[in-house]
Each structure stands twice: as structure tokens, then as C-alpha cells.
Structure 1
Amino acid sequence: MELLLKLVHPTVHSTEGRALRRDAVRAVIMHGDDILLLYTRRYDDYSLPGGGLDAGEDMIAGLQRELAEETGAQDVQVLDAIGYIDEYRPSPEPGYDHLFMRSYIYRCSASRELGEAQMEHYEISNGMAPEWVPLARAAAHNEAVIARQDAGMGMSIVRETWTLNYLRGLREQSARAAS
């Protein structure tokens, strides 16, 4: 799998040292120009469905679990790996120099019809909801949030917006090659 992007939080001065590691999986599910994303009211942003793997959990099983929990996605098929993004953030736990998170991104297929999501309490309280949205509109929306520099904006919106624009580029290349 290919490294797509490396993000380093401005307060992380070195990527060396003791790292608290977190592996995550994220899904890209498209129907035409629409992509299945999670809109989070608290942060006013769009993100790919997915999340952290449990200790020892297989990546594909973890991705299918996250999709079911967050979106209620049905008939999910993992098609191929797109790549991964590395992030270095401040550690939430003492004794570590930073948090190292690697997000593995997979292209998937699923039914457009969503079942009932089984979100965690914090996802519900943040106002998270699955939504089919045009890829270009989601990227533009997140770019506007970044431009405003909203107080609650985290580093994840940078990862998510970069990924949405990367996907737009892939789709444009594919369309040019087909014509």
C-alpha cells in the first residue's frame, strides 16, 4: 500500500521518539458523483466513514464493523486499497512524545440504501450522520470550514479534505483516460 500523505501537527517538533500508535481504516464508497460520508454537526465537516482498529483486529473486518456502526452500510464489498495517510499529533496520554496514526483507505462498494447505524454515544452527541453527498460539494464545504479557521476545527479535517480532493483528482484522471 502506498503512502499518500504525511501530516505533522505544528506542536509536534519531531517524528522520532516514543509514539503511541493508532491504526485506522477508512472507506471510499461512491455511487456516481455521490460519496458516502459522515457529516458532523459539531464540527460542521464531512469525513470518510471508518475509525480505529481494535487490538489485533483484521483491517477488513474492522472496516466492515466501522461501516456498519457508523453508516448502516449494507452489502459491503472491499474492492481494493487506495493508500494510507500518516499523522503525527500530540499524544493524549503521558509518557509518549506523540501520537502516530496511520489511516488505511480502501475503495468499497455498498448498497445505496443504508440500514440503521449503531453509533457510539460521542458520535451521536456530536451530531454525526451518514449522508450521500456530491464529492465536489463535500470538498468545497470542508475547504470553506478550513478557510474560516473555526475554533473547534481539528487536524482531521485537513486529512479528510486532502483525501476528498485526491479522490476528485483520481476521478478526473479516469474520465480523461476514458474519453
Structure 2
Amino acid sequence: MQLLKCHYHPEVTSLKNKSILKRLATRSIAMHGNAILLVYTARYEDYSLPGGGLDIGEDNIEGMIRELSEETGAKDIKNIQPFGIYEEFRPWYKPDHEIQHMISYCYTCEVSKELGPTKLEAYEIKNGMKALWIDIDKAIAHNKRTMITSNKMGMSIIRETFLLELIASRYAAPKPIH
């Protein structure tokens, strides 16, 4: 799968002699026209692709399907295709490691426009996560505003906005010129 970007959080100035936690994750890209299936998180005031960490020994595709259905209630998941990898190095908040090396495997897929019930974890409910279909350009504009104006911004918004812009450039319908 193609490497889309390798991002270093501004606080990560060197990897030398650092304790690094490697985390594998998946991200799902499902669209109907310019509407994309995203998760809005009230705590961070951002939109993100459905996805999350792979369980130990879990296959990427199985993990992607599991995360997508848990977070959004997506049904009839099919035609899964590789989109690319987003790598990032960011500070880790637990004392066992200093840096997290997150590798996100991103896949496009088709899903039913109708969503079923979600299976959110307690922290996801507490953070105000909600799945919805939204115009991709509106989601990008919202995330960009959050990056400028919000003190609640999470570390994943840079990844998510980069991916949304890349997805829009490849898949969104062109806007009419007036």
C-alpha cells in the first residue's frame, strides 16, 4: 500500500533514544456522491474517518470492518480497496513510552446509506462521538476552523484533515463554476 504521508508532531523533535509504542490502525472511506461517512467528536470539535486500533493478530480488513461497523453502524460493507498509509509520530501520554508511532491503513469501501446501531466504547460515548453523512467540503472547512479557533483540538485532526482533502481531490464531484 502506498505511503501517503509521514507526519511528525511538533513536540517530536527526535526519535533517538526514545521509547516508542507502535500502534496499527485502520481508517474507512465510504462516500455517496460528495457525502462522506464520518464520526463527529464533540470533545475535540472535529470530524474524522471511522477507524481505530487493530487488535493483536487482527487482519487489517477484518479490523477495518469491525471499527467501521462499531463506530457508525455501517451495513453491507463491500468493495474494500486500499487507499494508502498515513504514518505519524506523536507524544504518548502514558508513562510506559515517550512516543507513539501510529500507522493508519486507509481503505475505501461501499456501504449502505442507511446506518444501523453503533457499538461505541464508554470513552467514545463520553467524548460525544456520533456517526453521520456530511458533505466532505463542509467537514474539511469545519476541521480547518477548529484548528484555528479551538483550544479543544485533538492530535488526530491534522491527519484527518489531510486525508479528507486528499479524498476530496480524488473522489468528490467538481463544483460548478458560476
- TM more than 0.5: yes
Secondary structure (helix, strand or coil) at the match of 2:157 reads helix
1:72-83 aligned at under 5 Å gives the runs 72-83=73-84
Tell me the distance in 2 between the aligned counterparts of 1:56 and 1:96: 21
CA distance in 1, matches of 2:68, 2:153: 24
Partner residue in 2 for 1:9: 9
Does the CA contact (< 8 Å) of 2:74 and 2:115 recur in 1?
yes
Q: Which digits, 9 at most, give the CA deviation of each residue in 1:38-92, with x for residues without a partner?
A: 0111111100001000111111111111111101100001421110111101123
Question: 2:110 matched to 1:109?
Answer: yes
Structure with more of its chain in helix, by fraction: 1
Identity in percent: 46
Mark the runs of 5 or more structure 1 residues left unpaired by the alignment: none
1:57 aligned residue: 58
Aligned length: 174
- 4+ runs deviating over 2 angstroms: 15-18, 91-97
- Cα separation, 2, equivalents of 1:95 and 1:40: 27
Listed one character per residue, the Cα deviations across residues 124-145 of structure 1 (whole Å, up to 9, x for unaligned) are 1111000000011111110111
Counterparts of 2:97 and 2:41 in 1: how far apart (Å)? 29
Compute the TM-score of the two structures, normalised by the length of structure 1: 0.91
Aligned residue for 1:25, secondary structure, equals strand
Structure 2: segments with no counterpart, 5+ residues? none
For 1:28 and 1:152, locate their aligned partners in 2 and report how far apart those are by CA, in whole Å: 25
Question: Alpha carbon RMSD of aligned pairs, Å?
Answer: 1.7
- Partners of 2:45 and 2:152 within 8 A in 1: no
CA deviation profile, 1:83-106 (whole Å, cap 9, x unmatched): 011110112333534110001100
1:21 — aligned with what? 22
